[in-house]
Chain A
Amino acid sequence: MSFVIKGDTGDWEIVCGLEVHAQVISRAKLFSGASTAFGAEPNSQVSPVDAGMPGMLPVINAFCIEQAVRTGLGLRAEINRFSVFERKNYFYPDLPNGYQISQYQHPLVGRGELLIDLPDGRTKAIGITRLHLEMDAGKSLHDQLPDRTLIDLNRSGVALMEIVSEPDIRSPEEAVAYMRKLRSILRYLGTCDGNMEEGSLRCDANVSVRRVGSREFGTRCEIKNVNSMRFVAKAIEYEARRQVEILEAGGVIEQETRLFDSGRGVTRSMRSKEEAHDYRYFPDPDLLPLELEEAFVARIRESLPELPDEKKERFIREFGLTPYDAGVLVAERATADYFEEVAAGRDAKQAANWVITELFGALNRAGKGIEECPIRPHQLGRLIDLLNEKVLSGRLAKDVFAIMFETGEDPERIVEERGLRQVTDTSAIEPIVEKVIADNPGQVETYRKNPKVIGWFVGQVMKATRGKANPQMVQELLKKRLEG
């Protein structure tokens, strides 16, 4: 996938790396026992540690470490069995200690990689530079009072994984594919819920441009606050075009931090390199270096679920699905599980078609996720069985599916109660065939010249039986009668 920005002086290429902050799924915070539940009353989930009270000390939550290691393993990354928590010092009212506890020189997770699917069916590896754990800050509420800012510390101390990619991304679409894949892996692992609206997955993008064919990196800008999949693409493209415009006009790019304004779809300067903070990182003397036992890592490795890449491969191998279909089905673990339940003991391709075309279509139209799907997998499987047992025609099956989606009822019951069973009894169909032929002598004439008109006759018979007649049988009977 080559994405090129056409400039007046030539073609430009985007170079982009993403820094993702993923909130760790954990009941308690990274360094205190306070709850992490979303949406609680402001300042109701704050321990004295989270509020930076005098004399309070952080204690590492082992479960958060486990989650980060699990994520690292899911990203096929090196796990550093020695890592160090450091203090990142800066003043802000929503940062109670005046420093954020983060990891700097010795992160928990080192190099890894993530495969993204390209539209042409190929995959591309995006390098992962590192993953480290850090605590979240609180939230400044600027819109509650006219002349004051209020602080909500519920989020203060919540564990975040900062996942940094290599500058391997070359287009806005690749960035989106990276984010989707990362979210998919995090959700498979159960280490982050990936909810961008609630802020549990946040993205900053480092963007630069260079002439196509150049191997040098241009000066990059960091774009903050890119907080939906849609904005990821928009922000990167806008920023790249802005940089090309400046460079083509003979200007230079200033290294700076910019903010994405989602309302106007533009990026704005936030602070220049000169205004950049000196964070004065140093190892947090309240926490000893973190040393992990090999057995700890091994135990987590053994408990890893099948991840999307492996699952996709298996779907292709075992079920003979196309890479595209397999990719669509494995994006969400729940979807993949749903599909596998439908496909069990059935024709997998047929099951995939039903899930992808009918079920996803219906869910999309209803604006529902797979978790809220009214049709249980075994019900969909039974529907496919009814179709294959010729109890239902393809058309009837779609009607029954629509009713199932509406009511959640079993297909057998719908078929029985509404009399939607396909009619396969020739004695019931023959009189109707006779009648249609008798009523339409003109069309019979036409058939002699153009046998394709049989389709029209089939339609008439189906209409007369309200779709319940077996279409193949109707076709055969008509053919026999018209030919004869």
Chain B
Amino acid sequence: MSELTALTLTAAREALRRREISARELTEAHLRAMEAARDLNAYITETPERALAMADAADARLARGESGLLEGLPLAIKDLFCTEGILTTAGSHILEGFVPPYESTVTRRLWEAGAVCLGKANLDEFAMGSANVTSYYGPVRNPWTRPGEEVPLVPGGSSGGSAAAVAARLCLGATGTDTGGSIRQPASFCGVVGMKPTYGRCSRFGIVAFASSLDQAGPLTRTVADCALLLQAMAGYDPQDSTSAAREVPDWSGGLSGEVRGLRIGVPAEYRVEGMPEEIERLWRQGAEWLRAAGAEIREISLPHTRYALPAYYIIAPAEASSNLARYDGMRFGLRVEGADLTETYMKTRGRGFGAEVKRRVLIGTYALSAGYYDAYYLKAQKVRRRIAEDFTAAFREVDAILTPTAPSAAFRLGEKSDDPVAMYLNDVFTVPASLAGLPGISVPAGLSAEGLPLGLQVIGRAWDEATVLRVGRALEEAAAFTALPYGLAEVAG
């Protein structure tokens, strides 16, 4: 690990502004690291030429004393964001050869802020998965392994490539998207910070849709300060997305501190799920203890409908996905497998273009929306969703933020749970409720499991109150002082 790739986003930004380093050398260091770490399969597409051109342009602007918020900072982009002129796959065979003629709003904002595009990060196919094993471009390896072991572990998902790239120092930060935990859970598995902002905070325009009422873009970084900085650049109202909020983006980055004195932090009883490893519960208690020590007040709270969140999510998300994915019909872009007639062309194209998990969810979603089942499934799930949101509203009358574990386990072995979809879905048990309620949540690395793997804690806040979430996250970060590195990197770390 070179010194340049070891920098945080914030530190690199300072160094660039002080002209101590150039965007070009920073970018080159990352391109070299990417090349050396291809076995992780963190990127689907690397864009070295574009990266260097963008870096040079950033250097020119820095030389003129003009610099955007992220001037010259190299990032990885989850390959769910459409990028003009760059292959965009969503991790699916069905988007074979698809090069969008348009740019997603979030990435456009990043480039306008001066950021450098290193490439497109691997992900679960159409962001459906919790282990980054469903990608048509192969699974991503977590840079972490158990000490003394070579057994590959999953990075979590669906933003697995983004989380792995941030953890392995293959970028300074990455974009992810979170539908039911797809930023927070891989952040926890890879020992990095990941945040899903309030639904509507970032534009969804140009992000390949999975479940439109849940999908939300967010950052993955190595520190909470970096997270605030990257989110700052990503967020903002977009008239091209009717669900994006016409709200001012606060200066999260500027005034960030870990000051939590006087804050009331809720610990929900219902998150003590059956079969949760003791070490997760211990870390959670530890987290609460750290916050109490920092001056926060810890309160037991109740979110009574928590246990219905996962089943409701696995109705709503597939229902929306079944409709969102209907456009992949082989007619206008991506893969087409010709059949004897239209129906056969549809069947062959979608049969070969989609992987097993995507097909499973399209089937579940189609079923849930069918005549005769709609009320029992989709409508019921929507009612549950409202109850869950009401649970949070009630809780936030008592507390300012909620502390929970991010995931019920540390990273598991590649191949594990792959034949058991329900076991896989349980990964999202702590992240899904905030998604259904549209609330902001952050995962901060807080400690190591007995096996030496990173574990994250999640902070959930009120809608539009990312500031408090970041503040509590920062306090946890300070207290946890998580400095462990993936084992491959520790050896060369200076």
Binding site for B on A (CB under 8 A): 48, 51-60, 87, 89, 91, 93, 96-99, 151, 278, 280-282, 285-288
Contacts and interface: CB of A to CB of B under 8 A. Distances in A.
Given A55-B82, A60-B242, A286-B212, A98 B100 contact: no
A54 B374 contact: no
Contacts of B370: 278, 280
Given A282-B319, A286-B243, A288-B243, A54 B332 contact: no
B320 interface: yes
A282 B315 CA distance: 13
Contact of B323 (A48, A59, A89, A287): A89
A292 to B, nearest CB: 15
Interface string B229-248: 00000000001111100000
B374 A52 contact: no
Contacts of A281: 369
B104 interface: yes
B207 A55 contact: yes
Given A54-B100, A57-B204, A280-B369, A89 B326 contact: yes
Contacts of B239: 59
Contacts of A98: 323, 325-327, 329
A412 B100 CA distance: 68
A138 to B, nearest CB: 10
B201 to A, nearest CB: 15
A48 B88 CA distance: 15
Contacts of A89: 322-323, 326, 369
B327 A59 contact: no
A48 B370 CA distance: 29
A87 B209 CA distance: 15
A282 B369 contact: yes
Contacts of B212: 285-286
B209 A55 contact: yes
Contacts of B366: 280
A98 B369 CA distance: 15
B98 A54 contact: yes
Nearest to B326: A98
Contacts of B208: 54-55
Contact of A48 (B102, B209, B242, B320): B102
B36 interface: no
A55 B241 CA distance: 10
B223 to A, nearest CB: 30
Interface string B434-454: 000000000000000000000
A31 to B, nearest CB: 9
Contact of A91 (B204, B326, B369): B326
Query: Most chain-A CB neighbours within 10 Å: which of B213, B322, B369?
Result: B369
Given A55-B205, A98-B329, A282 B323 contact: yes
Report the interface size class on chain B. 35 or more
Contact of A96 (B213, B243, B331): B331
A285 B320 contact: yes
B487 interface: no
A54 B88 contact: yes
B378 interface: yes
Contacts of A52: 327, 332
Contacts of A58: 242
Interface string B79-101: 00110000010100001001011
Interface in B184-239: 204-209, 211-213, 239
Contacts of B422: none
B323 A55 contact: no
Top-5 shortest CB links A-B: A98-B326, A280-B369, A285-B213, A285-B212, A52-B327
A57 B240 CA distance: 7
A205 to B, nearest CB: 25
B15 to A, nearest CB: 34
Contacts of B242: 57-60, 286-288
Contacts of A280: 322-323, 366, 369-371, 374
Nearest to B316: A285
A112 B320 CA distance: 34
Given A59-B242, A278-B371, A288-B242, A91 B346 contact: yes
B342 interface: yes
Interface string B403-436: 0000000000000000000000000000000000
Nearest to A59: B242
Contacts of B206: 55-56
Given A53-B333, A54-B208, A285-B320, A99 B98 contact: no
Given A97-B326, A99-B326, A288-B243, A51 B332 contact: yes
A93 B81 CA distance: 25
Contacts of B82: 54-55
30 contacts: A48-B102, A51-B332, A53-B100, A54-B88, A54-B327, A55-B100, A55-B209, A56-B206, A57-B204, A57-B205, A57-B240, A89-B326, A91-B329, A91-B346, A93-B329, A93-B331, A96-B331, A98-B327, A99-B323, A278-B371, A280-B322, A280-B323, A280-B370, A280-B371, A282-B320, A282-B374, A285-B211, A285-B212, A285-B213, A286-B209
Interface in B366-384: 366, 369-371, 374, 378
Nearest to B334: A54
A53 B329 contact: no
Nearest to A151: B331
Given A280-B369, A286-B212, A59 B326 contact: no
Contacts of B322: 89, 280
Contacts of A51: 332
Nearest to B333: A53
A278 B371 CA distance: 6
A194 B243 CA distance: 34
Query: Most chain-B CB neighbours within 10 Å: which of A52, A58, A59, A282?
Result: A282
Query: Most chain-A CB neighbours within 10 Å: which of B81, B98, B104, B205?
Result: B205
A282 B327 contact: no
A270 B102 CA distance: 40
A86 B209 CA distance: 17
B329 A59 contact: no
B342 A93 contact: yes
A381 to B, nearest CB: 51
A170 to B, nearest CB: 32
B335 to A, nearest CB: 13
Contacts of A54: 82, 88, 90, 95, 98, 100, 208-209, 327, 333
A282 B213 CA distance: 12
Interface string B348-389: 000000000000000000100111001000100000000000
